[in-house]
């Protein structure tokens, strides 16, 4: 059975119309003859949304009972029994009611897809797991329901549903999103223009990145070499010279001209060592690139120009920025420079050659002397044959001006030159050819290989030996020079890596990214291995960069990182020298893991130190507050048990009330101490149940000492939220007790709850003296009592416990001014 196809409508914000688009697509397919059903659609009481369902067949929902309330969820079994071609399922990130078939709705959808049913669903960008922290920073609200990015990325089609912030706010103001009673709160909180603009940008960038990934994957699968300028992507080629800042800024301006433009800097390090740059220069270029909003890469290659072109094609660049050549005119006689090479091979990629103060200054590396490769060897053989022939011709024409000793020295000089250019084998060939030419043309009798004089025989033999010896020395020197240059390049790469890691906030991803660039591989990963030596190895990817399949070791190059980690590269073509580099990267990875382990231990030590400080403060703070109610209890019990004093009935009742009040106070104090201890030690366990907001308020009031002073503004009887009921009631009870403590007698403390922009907010409003904005953060610290606390006592843990329990549930607790005086505590459940 083939897997079903998933289509997702991604909303930039709530209310942009993704559900309507999903229903319209369902009707369009139904009209085309496809069997389409509605599995679950949330209309949120919007008439227009309900109208869009039209005559589409509905699959009945299943009812799940939880805490006395019946809630409707997607009936997976009913959909499987109906077996439509396409099912519409709204709100991909929804958390199902406890007791449902799956915990999350996207898991329901995965099961439908596995049975070959196509699914169309919706999700808002703020529910993507990778954007959760960003959305919280923008809106101040942490999303309680999220969906893994991988689930959304795996969709066969993703369509963005977008709307301008002004248009969405108008739709909200007209009552097309929320009811009239919630519009003002929504417009002034979640739906502020800045919030909507930021969410819109997040959605556009996320979708653009997914499109870019799909484009690169398609080009790779179809082996498409020409670039497709679907996006302005500018590659800046750097040499490490002082002109690199000019090139980067010019490239940034080019990238900023088009929407979605991207700046990528690349520095090529060659084995010849001619373009080596200092680590400081590389670090400066990397820092400036990041400041300009770009990405910095270092690649290795013998041919700088071709490496730049290959890199540009690999990232689908639209433009390449290179600096005008620094070589003087006489230096250009020895070959074309990097810029000319890039221009000649750029093809459909535009090349911008930028002038700078060092243009044609002659301050370059000079003539290239590459390693003893195939090109040099062939050039050496060519010089050995053609050179010997030309020299022989010249000497034959000028025979009357020289004798055999000079002729032998000239042939020896030619042999040394061949050794410098091509190495040992071309030099030996030149020596043999030169000896034959000397014997034939210049040794008596000429015209034959017969040598008349014995000393000439010795001279020719000595000539061949000397030529071979000189060639060997020159060859070995050239090889050592190449090895030294390679070692210098490796040292430079390691130094650049060390500098980049020092500046990186996340060192492992930076290391893996550098490994990809250095070895020109599509992916790199740090893998934790388990059960090694038992015949079964499990692999857990700790960090990765690019595309890599760690399960197929036949296509990987691996190096051990400590005892239970490996550095894996997506390649098998690594020579011995590069293998040493891989080991060096593995050593860096081991050092990073060791530093992270030490940092974790330091954090643990800091936590222990904090716990010790906490315990010290706790003992100092509770010494009096525990003693006071215990003294009252002891005095009351002693008075009741005393036989020396005759107590009246009213006196007995008063003593019993004192004992009861002191016991309640002691019980509340111990509960706060236990809660604070669990928060500080991280041992708090949170569960989530769908609970009515009214039940939470009622449960909190049972713990309040002066319930008569509390005025409850009854919330919507159907308003529910997914929280830990016990913890939520403790939060509300502490907030209410705090409000009563600071509110004058006879003045009510108001408690209410409502749905604001899809999030439940509980508010506790007092009419006390209030708290200045500068002091509001301090009131949530443990053992802090604000003002004189007109009534009651306490050790200053009530608000600290409420804050800690709120954060443990994923909620936010804030303090704001009450209009007319006082303080309003707001618990916002995300």
Digit-coded pLDDT (tens) for 310-322? 888 877 788 899 9
What pLDDT does residue 789 have? 45
Is the pLDDT assigned to residue 273 strictly greater than 60? no
What pLDDT does residue 460 have? 65
Specify the higher pLDDT residue, 40 or 795.
Answer: 40
Q: Cβ(739)–Cβ(764) under 8 Å? A: yes
Alpha helices in 566-721 (DSSP H): 576-641, 649-681, 693-701
What pLDDT does residue 532 have? 46
| Residue found by looking up tokens 């709160």 in the block | 185
Report CA torsion sign: 712, 713, 716, 719: negative
* Average pLDDT, integer, range 774-790: 64
Phi and psi (nearest 5°) for 552? -105, 90
Distance CA 153, CA 8 (A): 10
Most confident of 298-307, 461-470, 486-495: 298-307
What pLDDT does residue 459 have? 65
* Average pLDDT, integer, range 15-21: 90
Q: Cβ(216)–Cβ(302) under 8 Å? A: no
Closest alpha carbon to 607 in 545, 658, 674, 680: 680
| Residue found by looking up tokens 């399960």 in the block | 551
Could you count the other beta carbons within 10 Å of the beta carbon of residue 661? 15
Q: How far is CA 174 from CA 20, 46, 177, in A?
A: 17, 12, 8
C-alpha torsion 776→780→782→786, nearest 10: 40
What pLDDT does residue 782 have? 65
Q: What is the DSSP string of 779-795?
A: GGSTT---TT-SS----
Is the pLDDT assigned to residue 331 strictly greater than 70? no
What pLDDT does residue 56 have? 92
What digits encode the pLDDT tens for the residues 365-401? 433 434 455 677 788 889 889 998 999 999 988 888 8
- Output the six-digit token pair for 563: 């005892």
Distance CA 331, CA 337 (A): 9
Is the pLDDT assigned to residue 799 strictly greater than 50? yes
Kindly tell me the burial class for residue 817, based on how many C-beta atoms sit within 10 Å of its own C-beta (0-12, 13-18, 19 or more): middle
Phi and psi (nearest 5°) for 605? -65, -40
| Residue found by looking up tokens 């293998």 in the block | 579
Specify the higher pLDDT residue, 329 or 311.
Answer: 311
Q: What predicted TM-score, i.e. pTM, was given to this entire model?
A: 0.41
What pLDDT does residue 516 have? 80
What pLDDT does residue 512 have? 83
- CB-based contacts of 804-810 (< 8 A; 24+ apart in sequence): 804/675, 804/676, 804/679, 804/680, 804/684, 805/675, 805/679, 805/684, 805/727, 805/728, 805/730, 805/731, 806/731, 808/679, 808/684, 808/686, 808/727, 809/686, 809/723, 809/724, 809/727, 809/728, 810/142, 810/144
Q: How high does pLDDT run on average in the chain?
A: 78
Specify the higher pLDDT residue, 564 or 488.
Answer: 564
What pLDDT does residue 79 have? 93
Distance CA 275, CA 241 (A): 9
What pLDDT does residue 272 have? 47
Which band of pLDDT confidence, cut at 50, 70 and 90, is reported for residue 175? confident
* Average pLDDT, integer, range 139-167: 84
Percent above pLDDT 70 for the chain: 76
E-strand stretches of 694-773: 710-712, 720-723, 749-756, 759-765
Phi and psi (nearest 5°) for 791? -130, 150
Q: What is the DSSP string of 281-328?
A: HHHHHHHHHHHTT-EEEEEE-S-HHHHHHHHHHHTT-SEEEEEPP---
What digits encode the pLDDT tens for the residues 678-710? 665 555 667 778 888 888 998 888 777 777 889
Question: Which DSSP letter does residue 14 get?
Answer: T
Percent above pLDDT 90 for the chain: 12
* Average pLDDT, integer, range 96-109: 87
Distance CA 530, CA 563 (A): 10
Which band of pLDDT confidence, cut at 50, 70 and 90, is reported for residue 774? confident
Q: How far is CA 182 from CA 136, 408, 719, in A?
A: 21, 103, 13
E-strand stretches of 219-280: 233-238, 262-269
* Average pLDDT, integer, range 579-593: 80
Specify the higher pLDDT residue, 495 or 819.
Answer: 819
Specify the higher pLDDT residue, 442 or 89.
Answer: 89
Is the pLDDT assigned to residue 803 strictly greater than 60? yes
Length of the chain: 830
Q: How would you classify the pairing of strands 157-161 and 6-11?
A: parallel
- Output the six-digit token pair for 466: 């000397």
Is the pLDDT assigned to residue 528 strictly greater than 80? yes
Q: Cβ(560)–Cβ(524) under 8 Å? A: no
Is the pLDDT assigned to residue 271 strictly greater than 70? no
Is the pLDDT assigned to residue 674 strictly greater than 60? yes
Kindly tell me the burial class for residue 755, based on how many C-beta atoms sit within 10 Å of its own C-beta (0-12, 13-18, 19 or more): buried
What pLDDT does residue 67 have? 65
The contacts of residue 823 (CB under 8 Å, 6+ apart) are: 739, 742, 765, 766, 768, 770, 771, 815, 816, 817
Distance CA 786, CA 798 (A): 12
Which band of pLDDT confidence, cut at 50, 70 and 90, is reported for residue 791? very low
Distance CA 171, CA 742 (A): 42
What pLDDT does residue 361 have? 56
What digits encode the pLDDT tens for the residues 588-629? 888 888 888 888 888 778 767 766 665 565 555 555 456 667
Which band of pLDDT confidence, cut at 50, 70 and 90, is reported for residue 640? confident
Which band of pLDDT confidence, cut at 50, 70 and 90, is reported for residue 21? very high
- Output the six-digit token pair for 142: 């942490």
Phi and psi (nearest 5°) for 143? -70, 125
| Residue found by looking up tokens 């290795």 in the block | 300
* Average pLDDT, integer, range 16-21: 91
Specify the higher pLDDT residue, 500 or 526.
Answer: 526
Distance CA 423, CA 467 (A): 12
**In whole angstroms, what separates CA 374 from the centre of its chain?**
43
Q: Which of these ranges, 207-221, 282-296, 509-523, 598-612, has the smallest mean pLDDT? A: 207-221
* Average pLDDT, integer, range 411-415: 86
| Residue found by looking up tokens 């891989």 in the block | 582
Is the pLDDT assigned to residue 121 strictly greater than 70? yes
Q: How far is CA 728 from CA 161, 690, 779, 801, 824, in A?
A: 36, 12, 20, 11, 17
**In whole angstroms, what separates CA 91 from the centre of its chain?**
25
Which band of pLDDT confidence, cut at 50, 70 and 90, is reported for residue 554? low
What digits encode the pLDDT tens for the residues 46-87? 888 888 898 899 999 888 876 667 778 899 999 999 999 999
What pLDDT does residue 790 have? 42
C-alpha torsion 681→684→685→691, nearest 10: -160
Closest alpha carbon to 767 in 710, 809, 721, 718: 710
Which band of pLDDT confidence, cut at 50, 70 and 90, is reported for residue 19? very high
């Amino acid at each position: 059975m083939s897997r079903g196809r998933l289509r997702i409508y991604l909303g930039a914000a709530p209310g942009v119309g993704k559900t309507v688009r999903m229903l319209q697509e369902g009707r369009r397919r139904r009209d085309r003859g496809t069997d389409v059903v509605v599995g679950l659609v949330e209309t949120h009481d919007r008439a227009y949304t309900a109208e869009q369902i039209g005559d589409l067949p509905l699959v009945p929902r299943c009812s799940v009972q939880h805490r006395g309330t019946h809630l409707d969820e997607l009936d997976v079994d009913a959909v499987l029994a109906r077996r439509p071609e396409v099912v519409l399922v709204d709100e991909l990130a929804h958390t199902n009611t406890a007791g449902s078939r799956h915990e999350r709705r996207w898991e329901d959808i995965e099961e439908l897809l596995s049975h070959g049913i196509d699914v169309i669903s919706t999700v808002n960008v703020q529910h993507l797991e990778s954007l959760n922290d960003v959305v919280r920073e923008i809106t101040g609200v942490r999303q309680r329901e999220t969906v893994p990015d991988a689930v959304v990325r795996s969709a066969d089609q993703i369509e963005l549903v977008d709307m301008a912030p002004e248009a969405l706010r108008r739709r909200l103001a007209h009552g097309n999103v929320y009811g009239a009673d919630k519009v003002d709160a929504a417009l002034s909180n979640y739906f502020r223009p800045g919030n909507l603009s930021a969410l819109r940008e997040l959605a556009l960038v996320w979708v653009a990145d997914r499109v870019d990934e799909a484009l690169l994957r398609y080009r790779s699968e179809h082996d498409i070499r020409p670039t497709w300028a679907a996006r302005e992507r500018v590659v800046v080629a750097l040499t490490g010279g002082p002109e690199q800042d000019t090139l980067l800024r010019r490239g940034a301006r080019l990238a900023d001209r088009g929407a979605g433009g991207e700046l990528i800097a690349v520095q090529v390090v060659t084995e010849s060592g001619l373009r080596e740059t200092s680590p400081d220069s590389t670090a400066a270029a990397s820092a400036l690139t990041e400041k300009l909003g770009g990405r910095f890469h270092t690649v290795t290659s013998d041919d700088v120009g071709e490496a730049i072109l290959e890199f540009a094609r690999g990232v689908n660049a639209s433009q390449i920025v290179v600096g005008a050549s620094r070589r003087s005119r006489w230096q250009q006689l020895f070959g074309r420079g990097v810029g000319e090479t890039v221009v000649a091979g750029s093809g459909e990629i535009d090349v911008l050659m930028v002038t700078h103060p060092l243009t044609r200054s002659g301050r370059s590396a000079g003539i290239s002397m590459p390693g003893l490769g195939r090109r040099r060897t062939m050039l050496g053989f060519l010089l050995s044959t053609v050179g010997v022939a030309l020299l022989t011709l010249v000497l034959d024409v000028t025979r009357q001006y020289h004798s055999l000793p000079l002729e032998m020295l000239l042939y020896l000089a030619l042999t040394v030159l061949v050794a410098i250019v091509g190495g040992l084998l071309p030099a030996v060939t030149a020596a043999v050819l030169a000896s034959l030419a000397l014997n034939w043309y210049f040794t008596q009798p000429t015209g034959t290989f017969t040598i008349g004089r014995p000393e000439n025989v010795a001279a020719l033999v000595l000539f061949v030996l000397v030529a071979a010896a000189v060639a060997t020395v020159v060859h070995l020197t050239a090889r050592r020079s190449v090895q030294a240059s390679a070692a210098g390049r490796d040292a430079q790469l390691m130094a650049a890596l060390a500098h980049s890691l020092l500046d990186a906030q996340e060192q492992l991803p930076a290391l893996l990214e550098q490994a990809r660039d250095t070895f020109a591989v599509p992916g790199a990963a740090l893998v934790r291995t388990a059960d090694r030596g038992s015949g079964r190895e499990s692999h857990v990817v700790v960090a990765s960069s690019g595309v890599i399949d760690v399960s197929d070791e036949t296509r990987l190059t691996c190096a051990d990182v400590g005892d239970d980690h490996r550095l894996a590269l997506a390649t098998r073509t690594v020579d011995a020298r590069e293998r040493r580099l891989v080991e060096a990267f593995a050593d860096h990875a081991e050092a990073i893991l060791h530093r992270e382990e030490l940092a974790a231990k330091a954090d643990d030590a800091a936590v222990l130190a904090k716990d010790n400080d906490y315990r010290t403060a706790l003992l100092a703070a509770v010494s009096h507050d525990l003693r006071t109610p215990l003294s009252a209890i002891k005095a009351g019990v002693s008075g009741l048990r005393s036989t020396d004093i005759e107590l009246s009935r009213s006196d007995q009742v008063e003593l019993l009330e004192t004992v009861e009040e002191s016991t309640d106070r002691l019980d509340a104090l111990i509960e706060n101490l236990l809660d604070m201890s669990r928060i500080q030690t991280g041992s708090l366990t949170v569960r989530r149940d769908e609970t009515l907001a009214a039940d939470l308020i009622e449960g909190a009031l049972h713990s309040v000492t002066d319930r008569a002073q509390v005025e409850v503004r009854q919330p919507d009887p159907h308003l529910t939220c997914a929280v830990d009921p016990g913890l939520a009631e403790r939060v509300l009870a502490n907030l209410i007790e705090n409000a009563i403590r600071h509110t004058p007698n006879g003045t009510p403390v108001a408690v209410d709850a409502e749905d604001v922009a899809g999030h439940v907010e509980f508010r506790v409003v007092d009419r006390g003296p209030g708290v200045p904005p500068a002091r509001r953060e301090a009131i949530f610290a443990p053992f802090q009592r604000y003002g004189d606390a007109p009534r009651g006592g306490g050790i200053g843990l009530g608000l600290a416990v409420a804050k800690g329990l709120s954060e443990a549930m994923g909620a936010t607790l804030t303090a704001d001014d009450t209009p007319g005086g006082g303080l309003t505590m707001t618990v916002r459940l995300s």
